C-alpha cells in the first residue's frame, strides 16, 4: 500500500528519498511524488503516475542540489483516481505546508466543504489534501501558532487513520511526523533522521529506530527529536536496533509474505468494512455503488464470476446473498462462463470478484455480460485495475498489496464485502433493522475473533508436523463452509504440492468415502451451526473407516474430542460469518505444512499471482 519516506539531516534529501522509496516498491503503488526544501525557503515538488522510475525521469540535475529536508510518497489509490494531482505530497493553498499521508481521513468531506467556504482551493480529490488545508486554516486563524501545534489541532479534529510526514517551507530545519493506526518509524542516524512507513526504507542508513505509537507525533531536526502524544505529553522512548535485513523488513519481520498476509487479516477486514456500516439504521454505505443503488433494488438475479480463491469467496457470497440479500444468485467459474453462451435475463446483475483486477478469464466473463448490456459490479483490491475500470460500479477491498501468490487476506476481505452487500440488498428488500444490526455488529467483531485464531499458529504448526507423512487430504464442509473446504484444499495443494480435495460433506457418500482409510486424513469444518449434526455423522463415518480427522470446531465444544483429539477451535459467530474464521486455521495449516516441506510458499511452482493470460 502507500509508502512514506521523510529525511532531514546533513545529506541532500532527494537522493536519500528516492533510494528509500524504491525499497518500498514491493508494497505496490500507482503513483509517486516528492517535496524537498530549497535554499530559497521554497518547497519544490514533483509527481508522476506509475513507477518511481517515471518520477526519476522528471528529476533534473538542479533538483538533486536542493535542500536537506524532504518527504516522498508512493500512493495506492483509495480516494480519487490514479492521477498526478491525486499523488502525494499535497500542499496547502500557499504551497508552504507539504504532507504525505497514509491511511484514510474518514470525515474529510465534512471539512472539505467548510474549508472551501472559507476560500481554500483544492487541487486533488484526496482526503489527504484536506488535512493540509485544515492545518493551514488553524495557522490562518492564529498566525502565531507553531506548525507542530496546528498539526496537532488538526489531528485532534479529524477521524481516521494516518501515517503522516510534513514539511514546512517556512521552517525547513524541522520535519513533523504523526501516526494513528498506520505504521511509521523514525530511523536515527548520525546527524540525520529518516521517517518511514516501513523499516526497509531506513535499513541502508541506520539500524537504530524509534517506533511511533498510535496517537503520537514527532518533531525532528537534524540533531534532535521529540515525541509527544496529542495531549502534548512528552514521550521518552529509546531507540531499538533492527536485526532484519531489507528483505526481512519488507516482510515485516515474518519469514514469508504469506504469513505476514495471514497475520494482517484482522486489519484487512477492518480496512474493508471501515466507514461502510451505518450502525444505527442498519444500513450499508458502499460509495462505489451508490450510483447504481436503485438498479440493485430492482435487480432480480446476481451472477457471480471469478477464478481460484476469488471464485470461492464468491461461492460463500452465493449462500449469503440468497439467505440474507433475498435475491437468487448463481456463481460461475469465469473460465467456464466465458464459453457457455450464458443466458441473461432482465434484471440480471453481473458481479466479478478479483484481487488483482487483471485475471484474463474474469475479464472475459465481464466482457460477455457487458456485451449483453447487463449491469456489472466488481469487488476488486487493486485500484485502477482493468476490472475496476471496466465495471459499471464496484467496491474496493482496501487490503493493501497481496504479494504471496496464494491468496489469503484478499479472500477474507472479499467475503466480508459480500456480507456487507448481502445486508445492503437485504435492507432494500425485507431484512429488518434488527437483523442488519446483528450482522454488522458481528462482522465488526470478526477482526478481534480472528486474532484469537492467529494466536494458535504454533499449535496448528504442530498439527502440520504430525500430518507431514500424509500425501492425500480430504477437506469437508457443508453450507457456508463447503466453499471453505474447497479453499482449504486449494491452499494446501497450491503451496505444499500434496493431493488435497475439497468436497461438500453431503457428497462424501457418493464417492470420496471410497478413498478413506488410515492413510487418508480428512479435515472437517464443523462449527456449531445448523448443519453441525450432519457433519458429526460424516465424521463418525470417517472414523469407522479408520480415517484420521482434524476438525475445526466452535470453542467450548469439548464433546468433539470424543471423535478426534486433533481439534482447532474457532470462536462462536453467526453462521454466515463462520467462513471468515474457519478459513484462517486452514490457511495457517497449509502455510506451516508447506514450510515444513521446505518449499517456497510465497512463490509456488507453476503458479502466478496474477493470471493475465488464458
Q: Which is nearer to ligand G6P, 166 or 313 (CB)?
A: 313
Closest alpha carbon to 47 in 14, 98, 20, 85: 85
Distance (Å, whole) CA 396 – CA 382: 8
Give the CA count within 13 Å in the CB-facing half-sphere of 278: 10
Which positions from 165 through 184 interact with ligand G6P, judged by CB under 6 A?
A: none
Distance (Å, whole) CA 422 – CA 325: 4
Write out the H or E segment, with its range, that includes residue 176: strand 175-180
Q: What proportions of the chain, in percent to the nearest 5, are helix, strand and coil?
A: 40, 20, 35
Q: How far is the CB of 380 from ligand G6P (least distance, A)?
A: 8
Write out the H or E segment, with its range, that includes residue 491: helix 482-496
Distance (Å, whole) CA 121 – CA 137: 12
Closest alpha carbon to 32 in 15, 11, 17, 13: 17
Query: Which listed residue (406, 460, 560, 584) binds ligand G6P by CB under 6 A?
Result: 406
- For cell 488545508, what's the residue? 133
Distance (Å, whole) CA 276 – CA 272: 8
Q: Which is nearer to ligand G6P, 147 or 407 (CB)?
A: 407
Q: Which is nearer to ligand G6P, 151 or 388 (CB)?
A: 388
Query: Which listed residue (362, 386, 573, 578) binds ligand G6P by CB under 6 A?
Result: 362
Write out the H or E segment, with its range, that includes residue 427: helix 409-428
Distance (Å, whole) CA 325 – CA 327: 6
Q: Which is nearer to ligand G6P, 403 or 567 (CB)?
A: 403
Distance (Å, whole) CA 18 – CA 226: 25
Q: How far is the CB of 92 from ligand G6P (least distance, A)?
A: 38
**611 in contact with ligand G6P (CB under 6 A):** yes
Q: Which is nearer to ligand G6P, 31 or 356 (CB)?
A: 356
Distance (Å, whole) CA 102 – CA 75: 8
Q: Which is nearer to ligand G6P, 134 or 590 (CB)?
A: 590
Q: How far is the CB of 359 from ligand G6P (least distance, A)?
A: 3
DSSP letter for 386, please: H
Distance (Å, whole) CA 314 – CA 483: 9
Per-residue cell: 462: 504442530
Q: Which is nearer to ligand G6P, 269 or 436 (CB)?
A: 269
Do residues 45 and 104 lie in contact, with contact meaning Cβ atoms separated by under 8 Å? Answer: no
Stretch that binds ligand G6P, among 153-161, 399-407, 454-462, 546-554 (CB under 6 A): 399-407
Q: How far is the CB of 385 from ligand G6P (least distance, A)?
A: 9
Q: How far is the CB of 197 from ligand G6P (least distance, A)?
A: 24
Q: Which is nearer to ligand G6P, 21 or 352 (CB)?
A: 352
* Binding flags for ligand G6P, 579-608, as an x/- string (CB under 6 A): ----------------------------x-
Residues in the chain: 614
Q: Which is nearer to ligand G6P, 470 or 497 (CB)?
A: 497
Q: How far is the CB of 372 from ligand G6P (least distance, A)?
A: 21
DSSP letter for 351, please: E
Distance (Å, whole) CA 233 – CA 239: 19
**390 in contact with ligand G6P (CB under 6 A):** no
Q: How far is the CB of 613 from ligand G6P (least distance, A)?
A: 11
Stretch that binds ligand G6P, among 39-47, 285-293, 355-363, 532-540 (CB under 6 A): 355-363
Measured between alpha carbons, how far is residue 155 from residues 72, 149, 160, 180, 283 in Å? Answer: 20, 10, 9, 9, 28
Count of residues engaged in binding ligand G6P, rule: CB under 6 A: 16
Which positions from 295 through 314 interact with ligand G6P, judged by CB under 6 A?
A: 307-310
Stretch that binds ligand G6P, among 229-237, 269-277, 315-323, 354-362 (CB under 6 A): 354-362
Q: How far is the CB of 612 from ligand G6P (least distance, A)?
A: 9
Q: What is the largest CA-CA distance in the chain?
A: 83
Which positions from 192 through 221 interact with ligand G6P, judged by CB under 6 A?
A: none
Q: How far is the CB of 410 from ligand G6P (least distance, A)?
A: 6
**Beta bridge pairs of residue 162:** 180, 181
Which positions from 414 through 453 interact with ligand G6P, judged by CB under 6 A?
A: none
Q: How far is the CB of 403 from ligand G6P (least distance, A)?
A: 11
Q: Which is nearer to ligand G6P, 86 or 309 (CB)?
A: 309
Which residues form the catalytic set?
2, 609
Distance (Å, whole) CA 201 – CA 52: 14
Stretch that binds ligand G6P, among 9-17, 94-102, 263-271, 348-356 (CB under 6 A): 348-356
Query: Which listed residue (124, 171, 355, 564) binds ligand G6P by CB under 6 A?
Result: 355
- Quick count: other Cβ atoms within 10 Å of Cβ 170? 13
Strand 301-306 with 329-333, pairing: parallel
**391 in contact with ligand G6P (CB under 6 A):** no
Query: Which listed residue (200, 335, 356, 538) binds ligand G6P by CB under 6 A?
Result: 356
Do residues 120 and 137 lie in contact, with contact meaning Cβ atoms separated by under 8 Å? Answer: yes
Query: Which listed residue (45, 74, 91, 354) binds ligand G6P by CB under 6 A?
Result: 354
Q: What are the residues binding ligand G6P (CB under 6 A)?
A: 307-310, 354-356, 359, 362, 405-407, 607, 609-611
Amino acid at each position: 500500500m502507500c509508502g512514506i519516506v521523510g529525511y532531514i539531516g546533513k545529506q541532500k534529501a532527494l537522493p536519500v528519498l528516492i533510494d528509500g522509496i524504491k525499497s518500498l516498491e514491493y508494497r505496490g503503488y500507482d503513483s509517486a511524488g516528492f517535496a524537498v526544501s530549497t535554499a530559497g525557503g521554497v518547497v519544490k515538488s514533483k509527481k508522476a503516475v506509475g513507477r518511481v522510475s517515471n518520477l526519476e525521469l522528471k528529476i533534473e540535475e538542479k533538483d538533486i542540489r536542493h535542500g536537506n529536508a524532504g518527504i516522498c510518497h508512493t500512493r495506492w489509490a483509495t480516494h480519487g483516481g490514479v492521477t498526478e494531482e491525486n499523488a502525494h505530497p499535497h500542499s496547502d493553498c500557499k504551497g508552504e505546508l507539504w504532507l504525505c499521508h497514509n491511511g484514510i481521513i474518514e470525515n474529510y468531506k465534512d471539512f472539505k466543504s467548510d474549508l472551501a467556504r472559507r476560500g481554500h482551493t483544492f487541487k486533488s480529490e484526496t482526503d489527504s489534501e484536506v488535512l493540509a488545508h485544515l492545518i493551514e486554516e488553524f495557522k490562518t486563524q492564529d498566525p502565531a501558532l507553531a506548525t507542530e501545534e496546528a498539526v496537532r489541532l488538526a489531528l485532534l479534529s479529524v477521524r481516521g487513520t494516518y501515517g503522516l510526514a510534513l514539511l514546512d517551507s517556512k521552517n525547513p530545519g524541522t520535519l513533523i511526523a504523526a501516526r494513528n493506526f498506520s505504521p511509521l518509524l523514525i530511523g536515527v542516524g548520525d546527524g540525520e533522521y529518516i521517517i518511514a512507513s516501513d523499516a526497509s526504507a531506513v535499513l541502508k542508513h541506520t539500524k537504530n529506530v524509534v517506533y511511533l505509537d498510535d496517537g503520537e507525533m514527532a518533531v525532528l531536526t537534524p540533531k534532535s527529536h521529540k515525541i509527544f502524544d496529542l495531549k502534548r505529553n512528552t514521550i521518552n522512548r529509546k531507540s531499538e536496533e533492527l536485526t532484519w535485513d531489507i528483505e526481512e523488513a519488507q516482510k515485516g519481520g515474518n519469514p514469508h509474505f504469506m504469513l505476514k498476509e495471514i497475520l494482517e487479516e484482522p486489519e484487512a477486514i477492518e480496512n474493508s468494512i471501515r466507514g461502510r456500516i451505518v450502525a444505527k439504521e442498519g444500513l450499508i454505505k458502499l460509495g462505489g455503488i451508490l450510483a447504481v443503488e436503485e438498479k440493485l433494488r430492482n435487480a432480480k438475479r446476481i451472477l457471480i464470476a471469478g477464478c481460484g480463491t476469488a471464485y470461492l469467496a464468491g461461492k460463500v457470497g452465493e449462500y449469503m446473498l440468497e439467505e440474507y440479500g433475498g435475491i437468487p444468485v448463481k456463481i460461475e467459474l469465469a473460465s467456464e462462463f466465458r464459453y457457455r453462451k450464458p443466458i441473461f435475463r432482465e434484471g440480471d446483475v453481473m458481479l466479478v470478484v478479483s484481487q488483482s483486477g487483471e485475471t484474463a478469464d474474469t475479464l472475459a466473463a465481464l466482457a460477455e455480460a457487458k456485451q449483453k448490456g447487463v449491469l456489472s459490479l466488481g469487488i476488486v483490491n487493486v485500484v485502477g485495475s482493468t476490472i475496476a475500470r471496466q465495471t459499471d460500479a464496484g467496491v474496493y477491498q482496501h487490503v493493501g498489496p497481496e504479494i504471496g501468490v496464494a491468496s489469503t487476506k484478499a479472500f477474507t476481505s472479499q467475503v466480508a464485502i459480500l456480507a456487507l452487500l448481502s445486508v445492503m440488498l437485504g435492507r432494500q428488500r425485507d431484512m429488518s433493522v434488527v437483523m442488519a444490526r446483528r450482522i454488522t455488529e458481528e462482522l465488526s467483531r470478526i477482526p478481534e475473533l480472528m486474532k484469537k485464531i492467529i494466536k494458535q499458529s504454533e499449535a496448528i504448526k504442530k498439527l502440520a508436523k504430525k500430518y507431514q507423512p500424509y500425501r492425500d487430504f480430504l477437506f469437508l464442509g457443508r453450507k457456508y463452509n463447503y466453499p471453505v473446504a474447497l479453499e482449504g484444499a486449494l491452499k494446501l495443494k497450491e503451496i505444499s504440492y500434496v493431493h488435497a480435495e475439497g468436497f461438500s460433506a453431503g457428497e462424501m457418500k457418493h464417492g470420496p468415502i471410497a478413498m478413506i482409510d488410515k492413510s487418508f486424513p480428512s479435515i472437517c469444518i464443523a462449527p456449531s451451526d445448523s448443519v453441525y449434526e450432519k457433519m458429526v455423522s460424516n465424521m463418525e463415518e470417517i472414523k469407522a473407516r479408520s480415517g484420521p480427522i482434524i476438525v475445526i470446531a466452535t470453542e467450548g465444544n469439548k464433546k468433539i474430542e470424543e471423535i478426534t483429539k486433533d481439534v482447532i477451535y474457532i470462536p462462536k459467530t453467526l453462521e454466515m460469518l463462520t467462513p471468515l474464521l474457519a478459513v484462517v486455521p486452514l490457511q495457517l495449516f497449509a502455510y506451516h505444512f508447506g514450510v515444513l516441506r521446505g518449499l517456497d510458499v510465497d512463490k509456488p511452482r507453476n503458479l502466478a499471482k496474477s493470471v493475465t493470460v488464458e
